[in-house]
């Protein structure tokens, strides 16, 4: 008898009919002899509506009240799903985050889970009852108020719960069939990946694959938890080929050179022109941005040969462009030497990344990427790399062309 954590998000619990469908899936696992803890998101549109209410009252609202408001969506789904299970003769009950309790820090609206007290849930599971836990939420250890984990936080709820319960597997049901070699809307020949290692999934999540929240992959990796991403709209229970399973690197026998390609349109490019080329200048620029909680990603600095001036280019999330420019302008005020400095920004960029654990042991992977793009006449604006990832920033209009060319070049195209 194994213990499963099953998570149903987004369109999986869109409406009553979808919730009934989810109840069928859970029933099948329970009747197959498994213990099940379930984590759910809000019904379609509910969270957005609640956020809109908050915005309507004030764009600058109290995050503690925001949390109390938006957490209700998951509370409703958990109750309804418990009812739907009971109707099928399955013993079930719902749990709000504070009831479990799922303890978080007090960073309202983007809290981190610190601890999950599983005593109550374990007792319930051992009595063959399904625990239906409201995702996305917890309770702050400091003020005893409801917290939420940020967008996509239900994934994190599920993986953290599975780790705390020492579950045999965590199944993340979603509206896609699994993790793909690239977004099939961009690359029609993209294929479903059957096995992917945590490190690769982490890189993919952080550069735009929206299947799993980054934080949830981190937790799974730390706990060496077997996580499966699969579709809630296909009757594949019991099948061997279900979705995509996340495993440790050593569990993948034959490592692909490149496992996946991602396209992210979430970033904008900022360029600082005529920056005096003096020691510590980068620290002085990025310090205030870090303080303002602006996440700077790719950075490139053109070394000046003769003018003693340099150009600095970097990317920030599109929604932070305004704040970034404000911080930079304030910095410019601090010194006479900076009076010539100019700021430029562009939204018309896309970040293309190739990710693969095989890159560690193979040279020339990045070089091949640059060559493929050069052959298509695509100019690379910024480059950044990690041990298992190469990202390039290119003009937005080249997104599909670049992704498809790279997908073919690394032999990822499906045969169909």
Binds a copy of itself by CB under 8 A, chosen from 11, 44, 99, 107 = 99
Binds a copy of itself by CB under 8 A, chosen from 93, 210, 265, 273 = 93
Q: What residues between 64 and 83 interact with a copy of itself by CB under 8 A?
A: 64-66, 68-69, 72, 75-76, 78-80, 82-83
Q: What residues between 192 and 211 interact with a copy of itself by CB under 8 A?
A: none
Question: Interface with a copy of itself includes 323 (CB under 8 A)?
Answer: no
Question: Interface with a copy of itself includes 357 (CB under 8 A)?
Answer: no
Question: Interface with a copy of itself includes 226 (CB under 8 A)?
Answer: no
Integer Cα distance of 255 and 195 in angstroms: 10
Which helix (H) or strand (E) element contains residue 289?
helix 281-291
Helix segments in 145-252, DSSP class H:
153-164, 198-206, 214-223
Integer Cα distance of 136 and 39 in angstroms: 9
Smallest distance, a copy of itself to C-beta of residue 109, A: 12
Q: What is the β-pairing status of strands 3-8 and 169-174?
A: parallel
Closer residue to a copy of itself in complex, CB, 70/212: 70
Q: Identify the sign of the CA torsion 8, 10, 12, 17.
A: positive
Question: Interface with a copy of itself includes 288 (CB under 8 A)?
Answer: no
Integer Cα distance of 297 and 320 in angstroms: 12
Structure tokens at 219: 């937790």
Please name which of 131, 70, 126, 65 lies closest in space to residue 99, comparing C-alpha atoms: 131
Please name which of 46, 32, 356 lies closest in space to residue 171, comparing C-alpha atoms: 32
Dihedral of the alpha carbons of 126, 130, 136, 141, in degrees to the nearest 10: -30
Smallest distance, a copy of itself to C-beta of residue 141, A: 15
Binds a copy of itself by CB under 8 A, chosen from 126, 128, 144, 408 = 144
Closer residue to a copy of itself in complex, CB, 50/281: 50
**Which of the 8 DSSP states describes residue 101?**
T
Smallest distance, a copy of itself to C-beta of residue 38, A: 14
Q: Are 198 and 163 in contact (CB under 8 A)?
A: no
Closer residue to a copy of itself in complex, CB, 42/201: 42
* Region binding a copy of itself by CB under 8 A among candidate stretches 5-13, 84-92, 239-247, 376-384: 84-92
Using CB under 8 A as the criterion, which residues of the chain lie in contact with a copy of itself when the complex forms? 16, 19-20, 50, 53-54, 56-58, 61-62, 64-66, 68-69, 72, 75-76, 78-80, 82-84, 86-87, 93-94, 96, 98-99, 144-146
């Amino acid at each position: 008898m194994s213990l499963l954590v099953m998570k149903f998000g987004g369109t999986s619990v869109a409406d009553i009919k979808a919730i009934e469908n989810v109840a069928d899936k859970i029933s099948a696992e329970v009747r197959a002899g498994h213990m099940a803890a379930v984590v759910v998101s809000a019904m379609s549109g509910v969270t957005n509506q609640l956020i809109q209410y908050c915005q309507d009252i004030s764009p600058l609202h109290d995050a503690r009240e925001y949390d109390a408001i938006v957490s209700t969506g998951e509370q409703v789904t958990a109750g309804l799903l418990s009812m739907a299970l009971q109707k099928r003769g399955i013993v079930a009950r719902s749990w709000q985050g504070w009831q479990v309790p799922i303890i978080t820090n007090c960073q309202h609206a983007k809290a981190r889970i610190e601890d999950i007290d599983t005593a109550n849930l374990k007792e319930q599971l051992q009595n063959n009852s399904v625990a239906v836990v409201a995702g996305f939420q917890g309770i702050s250890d400091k003020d005893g108020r409801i917290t939420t984990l940020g967008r996509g936080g239900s994934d994190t709820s599920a993986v953290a719960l599975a780790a705390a319960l020492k579950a045999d597997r965590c199944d993340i049901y979603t509206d896609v069939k699994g993790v793909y070699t690239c977004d099939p809307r961009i690359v029609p020949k993209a294929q479903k990946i059957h096995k992917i290692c945590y490190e690769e999934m982490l890189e993919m999540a952080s550069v735009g694959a929206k299947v799993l929240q980054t934080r949830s992959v981190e937790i799974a990796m730390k706990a060496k938890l077997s996580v499966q991403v699969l579709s809630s709209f296909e009757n594949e229970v019991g099948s061997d080929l279900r979705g995509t399973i996340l495993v440790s690197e050593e569990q993948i026998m034959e490592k692909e050179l490149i496992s996946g390609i991602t396209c992210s349109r979430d970033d904008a490019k900022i360029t600082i022109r005529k920056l005096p080329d003096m020691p510590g200048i980068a620290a002085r620029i990025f310090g205030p941005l870090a303080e303002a909680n602006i996440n700077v990603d790719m950075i490139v600095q053109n070394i000046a040969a003769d003018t003693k001036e340099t150009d600095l280019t970097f990317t920030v999330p599109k929604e932070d462009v305004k704040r970034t420019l404000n911080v930079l302008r304030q910095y410019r005020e601090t010194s006479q030497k900076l009076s010539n400095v100019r700021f430029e920004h562009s939204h018309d960029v896309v970040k293309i990344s190739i990710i693969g654990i095989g890159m560690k042991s193979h040279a020339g992977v990045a070089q091949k990427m640059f060559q493929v793009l050069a052959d298509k006449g695509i100019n690379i604006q910024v480059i950044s790399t990690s041990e298992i990832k190469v990202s390039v920033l290119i003009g937005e209009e080249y997104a599909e062309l670049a992704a498809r060319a790279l997908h073919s070049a690394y032999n990822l195209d499906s045969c169909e």
